[in-house]
Structure 1
Amino acid sequence: MPNPRRIGYVRVSTSDQLIDRQIHSLQERCDDIRIEYISGAARERPVFDALIRDLSASDTFVVLDVDRAFRSAVDALVTAQNLRERGVGFDIINLPVDVQTDLGEILYGCLALFSQLERKTIRRRTREGLAAARKRGVRLGRPAILPDTVIREAHDWMREAALPCRYVTWFLGVSRLTLQRGFRRLGLEYPIH
C-alpha cells in the first residue's frame, strides 16, 4: 500500500486573484497542493475532478475553507460521503472539528449550507448593484476601444467612400467585430455595399 498523502486543493476564480492565503495555510499541512483557476460554480473543474479521482484510501483531501472546493451544499455533502466510503480523509483547516465524526459531519453540512447562502447573497447583491448602476446611466463593461469620433469617421469612410471593412479595420488596428460593436453602440447601421 502506498504511503498516505495529504493533498491540498486551492481554487480561485481568476488568475489575477491572490492564492497566497490559501497556499500559506496548506503548505505546512500538505505533501502536495493542486491549484485551479476557475469559478467555483463551473460544472467542470478538471483539477478538482482529477484530484478526487486520484485520492487513494488513507490519503487526506485538504482545503482551507468549504467554499474553496464545492459549488453547493449538496456537492459538498456528496463529495464528503464519497471520500468517506473510499477511506479517504477530509480536512478543512478553518473548521476546527474532525469532519469524519458524526458531530463534524453535521457541522460540516451546516457550514456548507451557510457557504451556499453566502454565494447566493453575493450574487444577488451584485445583480442589484449592477441594475442600480445601469439605472444611474453608468456604462458597464470594458471601456470602448475606439472613441465615438473615430467610429463615426470609419462609418463615413465605409458608407460614403465605399472603403471595404478590411481596409478600415486594418487602418484602425481593430477587428471587424470591434467596429461592428462600435457602430451598434452609436446606433449606426453597418454599411453594406
Structure 2
Amino acid sequence: MKVGYVRVSCGETQNTARQDTLMAELQVDKIYTDKMSGKDASNRPQLQSMLDFVREGDVVVSESISRIARSTRDFLSIMDKLNQKGVTYISRKESIDTSTPQGVFMMTVFAALSELERQTTRQRALEGIAEAKKRGVYKGRKPIAIDAGKFKSVYTDWKAGKITAVEAYKKLGISASSWYRRVKDYGNRGATL
C-alpha cells in the first residue's frame, strides 16, 4: 500500500493543495494530514497514526523531508520506525527512496551528521563545564535531599532482605544509580548520610 504524509504548519498561509495534488499524481492509497508545526514528531497525531498503520511492504511518501521531520534526529527516529516495520520511505523533492542503495546511503549520511552534531554538542558542554570549574562557578548538580530517618529505615529493610533494591529506591523516589551511590556512602560512613 502507498501511504502519503502531508503537513503544513498551523497558521501558515499555505494550504495542503500542492501536496494533495502530488499525492494524487503518485496514486497514493491513503493520506495522513497534520496541520501543525513539525517541530516535535511525537505531538503530531496523524504522523503517529500513520506510523501505527503502516505494515511490511508499504511505502510512505512525502513531498519533502521537511514535511515529515524538522530535525535530523526526528527524521532518523521516524526512518528507524519505518525500517523496523519493513516500510520504504520516498521523499519526492530530495529523490530519496530507502528501497535503493542510494537511499540507504543517504540515510547513512544523515545518521553520520546527526552523530557528529550530538558529539559536537557534548564536547562543547564538557568544555563549558571545565571552564566554569576553573572559574569556580560550576558546582555540579545538588544531590537529592532524602530524609535520613526514612533512608535508614528503607536501608535496614533492604539489608534484611525484606524488600528488593527496586522497591527501596522507588520508596525513596530516587533512581537506581542514586540508590546504590547512597548505599555505598552509607556503608563507608557507618551510619551517617
TM-score of the aligned structures, taking structure 1 as reference length = 0.50
Residue 14 of structure 2: aligned partner? 17
Identify which range, 93-102 or 56-65, moves more after superposition: 93-102
The 1:60–1:74 alpha-carbon spacing in structure 2 relative to 1, beyond 3 Å, is same
Rounded to whole Å, the distance in 1 between the matches of 2:72 and 2:34 is 20
Which blocks of at least 5 consecutive residues in structure 1 are unaligned?
115-193
Q: What is the CA-CA distance between 1:110 and the residue it aligns to?
A: 4.8
8 Å Cα contact 2:51/2:81 also seen in 1: no
8 Å Cα contact 2:6/2:20 also seen in 1: yes
Residue 24 of structure 2: aligned partner? 27
For residue 17 of structure 1, what is the amino acid of its counterpart? Q
Residue 64 of structure 2: aligned partner? 65
Q: What is the CA-CA distance between 1:7 and the residue it aligns to?
A: 0.9
Select the residue among 2, 6, 12 that pairs with 1:6: 2
Rounded to whole Å, the distance in 2 between the matches of 1:96 and 1:64 is 10
Q: Deviations over 1:110-136 (max 9, x none)?
A: 57969xxxxxxxxxxxxxxxxxxxxxx
Rounded to whole Å, the distance in 1 between the matches of 2:108 and 2:69 is 12
Q: What is the CA-CA distance between 1:90 and the residue it aligns to?
A: 1.2
TM-score of the aligned structures, taking structure 2 as reference length = 0.50
- Secondary structure of the 1:90 match is strand
Q: What is the CA-CA distance between 1:98 and the residue it aligns to?
A: 2.5
Q: Percent of aligned pairs with the same residue?
A: 28
Q: What is the CA-CA distance between 1:53 and the residue it aligns to?
A: 0.7
Rounded to whole Å, the distance in 2 between the matches of 1:109 and 1:93 is 19
More helix per residue = 2
For residue 69 of structure 1, what is the amino acid of its counterpart? I
Residue 184 of structure 2: aligned partner? none
8 Å Cα contact 1:41/1:71 also seen in 2: yes
For residue 98 of structure 1, what is the amino acid of its counterpart? D
Rounded to whole Å, the distance in 2 between the matches of 1:68 and 1:111 is 16
- Secondary structure of the 2:90 match is strand
Q: Deviations over 1:80-122 (max 9, x none)?
A: 12212211121111232432334312324657969xxxxxxxx
Q: How does 1:10-159 map to 2 (within 5 A)?
A: 10-14=6-10, 16-29=13-26, 30-42=28-40, 43-108=42-107, 110=109
For residue 9 of structure 2, what is the amino acid of its counterpart? S
Q: Deviations over 1:20-70 (max 9, x none)?
A: 211111112211212110101134110100111111111111101001011
The 1:90–1:63 alpha-carbon spacing in structure 2 relative to 1, beyond 3 Å, is same
Q: Deviations over 1:147-171 (max 9, x none)?
A: xxxxxxxxxxxxxxxxxxxxxxxxx
